[in-house]
Structure 1
């Protein structure tokens, strides 16, 4: 496991090398959620982390994110 990032603001990035990345990230993100952290990518949630967003955001928050995405990127190109 490699941990790097912006330690000053608590924004850490985890790189896990394993034969089962989904299981490893499930463990990492559940731990992050239990500690009150958040799941995100460098510039938003990204496609790789969508699966775990529900651990740290409510259904209402996710719905609001989807509405903002649709309003700001109606052609879904970003």
Structure 2
């Protein structure tokens, strides 16, 4: 499972372990402003892929608005 720290590393940030106190781990994260902006935008990308959008479009075209709305709500809650 990808963690928030993994995502920060993938975005080009430097993640350092500063301390362990008991089971708690403390990290510092360093990055340029541009890298932090990319990281912030990445979290706002849609959670649905192209195939899902195509399925929803076909369903809407055939009158399945309620089903699509329910699926969209589930995706928004994910």
Q: What's the TM-score once normalised by structure 1's chain length?
A: 0.28
Q: What's the TM-score once normalised by structure 2's chain length?
A: 0.28
> Which has the bigger relative contact order, CA under 8 A and spacing at least 6?
2
Which one has the bigger strand percentage? 2
* Higher Cα Rg, which structure: 2
